Structure 1
Amino acid sequence: LKVPLLLKVPLLLKVLLMLCVLSPDGFKNYAASYCEFNSSEMKDIEYILSFYYNKDEYLRYSSSVGEFVGYTELGVKNAERLNRDTAQLAALRAQKERVCKNNIEKWDSGILAKKVPPSDVTLSSVTPPGGKHTHMLMCSVYGFYPKHISVKWLRDGKVTTSDVTSTEELADGDWYYQIHSHLEFTPSRSGEKVSCMVEHISLSEPVIRDWGNYLSVCLTCLSLWPVFLSFYLFYIFIFDRQYNICHHHKIEDIHIIHCPVLKQKHKTNTNKNKQTKKTTTCASH
């Protein structure tokens, strides 16, 4: 039985109107499938099929698990029902190779082959949060790709893992990553060398940043500050004493130079003014 087109349109409008009135606003049920991978090898590929209700995931199939897993009461019931369908599970397992592997090799080979070494590796001293250690260093690595990287701390060339904290690889939003690692420690001796070692697939050899030289200089300066202070006080004492002696000799030299001139002038003016003898003396100058 064919329904005239003119009758179909009003009927469709009525159905849409009923859905708009009776259905709640904003509640959506949808599914999304995607592939996660680190290389084009099957062991590094994972196919995922997720089901969401109002933005909350309640059911997932993962190729690494091989079956459905529920995250809510409704999801658990659906997972039990779907996992009994062996044919559907077999079809989903085939998606890993049919969808993921083929598309990765076709479209993403350039991304997988891309390797960018860190643009900068810096080692800096920061204020420790407080506790049993007196020093804290931060090793920052910027601008590397792909994501995986290794940041290790060395003390006199030996790897140390105690009192080390690190952030995860942080995405910069432009395909590149950064990471920060912290080491809290108390120097065992003044010459101890502390280093940060960075290893990445883009590097032919590890990048190492040393802090030992700066640490040794700082500790040496701190240990010698009483000596520097003693030398400074001794210098001030000697300088002040020499200045007083030189100033006294300078005044005496002026008297020696000027007094004979004044005496000679005094003799030439004796006949003109006898009172000058009383007022012109060496002490007055």
Structure 2
Amino acid sequence: MKSCRYLLLFHRILTSVVDCSTDKDGYFMYANFWCAVPSRKPEQVEYLIDWYFNKELTMQYNSTVGNWTGITPAGLITAAAFNEDEHDVLQRKLERQLICFDNVNLIYNITEENMAEPSISLHAVDRSSGHDALLVCSAYDFYPKFIRVTWLCDGQEVTKGVTFSEVMSDEDWTYQVHSYLELTPDRQDKVSCMVEHPTLREPKIYSWDSSMNQSDRSYIAGGVCCLVLGALVLCVGVIQHRKKSYNPHFSDGL
């Protein structure tokens, strides 16, 4: 190999990435090393490896299973060879111990120090060309990355008409994600967005007022504008009346 780069990132899942450039034959190899840490109990730590060849996932290692599993034809051959190699078996056990097992508390401490509760925005998007409304539930500025956003209708989970964006990095240790729900504006059901995140002791529910459709809002907005305009005209009339009452020269000039 011409070069290898080792990158270590800490999350509640510890990720190690080995990125090796092309070899003399022009083939490209890449591996992801994962430490799945569901709790502070070391015995629950799981060590995982995803091995890529020419950008194709060829085989995987799982410490719970204790061996490699081939995916592609070439991966089946390589995985079988690795599983028969005593040195590779010993190496994977040592890696689990040194990379994952011995760093459980460090992983949790780093994660907890940087935890950030998500800020939630729930709003509707006007879609003049269609009959359905589009609700958007957005979560901003949260850490760690793992989050679940669910739509509820009268307390029941909704899956139809729901789409999600990818969890996007804000490049400052925080993330954002957006979930979309298409629904009929005339519905009187109680629609809510439920957010689950490690920083929240229990799921938070944000309700949308679906009792007022878009036309009702338009009428109300128009009525408010008329009231404001009427109030301005009334104020101008009162001011002119007072000027006439207290300024004799103003009245004589008339």
Give yes or no for contact 2:37–2:104 (8 Å, CA) kept in 1. no
Specify which of 159, 162, 175 is matched with residue 161 of structure 1. Answer: 159
Structure 1 residues 172 and 36: alpha-carbon distance in aligned structure 2, compared to 1, 3 A threshold: farther
Count residues in correspondence: 197
Give yes or no for contact 2:30–2:55 (8 Å, CA) kept in 1. no
Q: CA RMSD in A?
A: 3.8
TM-score by length of 1: 0.54
Structure having the larger proportion of residues in strand: 2
Give the whole-Å Cα distance in 1 for the aligned partners of 2:146 and 2:168.
Answer: 11
TM-score by length of 2: 0.59
Measured after TM superposition, the shift of residue 130 of structure 1 is 7.3
Measured after TM superposition, the shift of residue 128 of structure 1 is 5.3
Q: Which runs of 5+ in 1 are unaligned?
A: 1-23, 229-285
Matches within 5 A, 1:78-93: 78-85=78-85, 88-89=88-89, 92-93=92-93
SS at match of 1:99: helix
Give the whole-Å Cα distance in 1 for the aligned partners of 2:145 and 2:132.
Answer: 32
Give the whole-Å Cα distance in 2 for the aligned partners of 1:32 and 1:186.
Answer: 46
Measured after TM superposition, the shift of residue 139 of structure 1 is 0.6
Specify which of 198, 212, 216 is matched with residue 212 of structure 2. Answer: 216
SS at match of 1:108: helix
Matches within 5 A, 1:136-147: 136-147=134-145
Q: Work out which of the two has the higher radius of gyration on C-alpha atoms and give 1 or 2.
A: 1
Give the whole-Å Cα distance in 2 for the aligned partners of 1:158 and 1:33.
Answer: 38
Matches within 5 A, 1:1-285: 27=26, 34-39=33-38, 40-41=40-41, 42-48=43-49, 50=51, 58-85=58-85, 88-89=88-89, 92-105=92-105, 107-114=106-113, 115-118=115-118, 120-127=119-126, 134-189=132-187, 191-212=188-209, 216=212, 218-220=214-216
Structure 1 residues 60 and 162: alpha-carbon distance in aligned structure 2, compared to 1, 3 A threshold: closer
Give yes or no for contact 2:48–2:60 (8 Å, CA) kept in 1. no
Give the whole-Å Cα distance in 1 for the aligned partners of 2:80 and 2:213.
Answer: 67
SS at match of 1:35: strand
Give the whole-Å Cα distance in 2 for the aligned partners of 1:183 and 1:152.
Answer: 10
Superposed CA offset, 1:159-188 (max 9, x none): 333221222322222221111111111145
Give yes or no for contact 1:26–1:54 (8 Å, CA) kept in 2. no
Structure 1 residues 95 and 182: alpha-carbon distance in aligned structure 2, compared to 1, 3 A threshold: same
Measured after TM superposition, the shift of residue 142 of structure 1 is 0.5
Give the whole-Å Cα distance in 1 for the aligned partners of 2:89 and 2:59.
Answer: 14
Measured after TM superposition, the shift of residue 198 of structure 1 is 1.7
Structure 1 residues 123 and 164: alpha-carbon distance in aligned structure 2, compared to 1, 3 A threshold: same
Give the whole-Å Cα distance in 2 for the aligned partners of 1:33 and 1:147.
Answer: 18
Structure having the larger proportion of residues in helix: 1
Greater relative contact order, per chain length (Cα 8 Å cut-off, separation 6+): 2
Give the whole-Å Cα distance in 2 for the aligned partners of 1:33 and 1:218.
Answer: 49
Residue type at the aligned position of 1:92? R
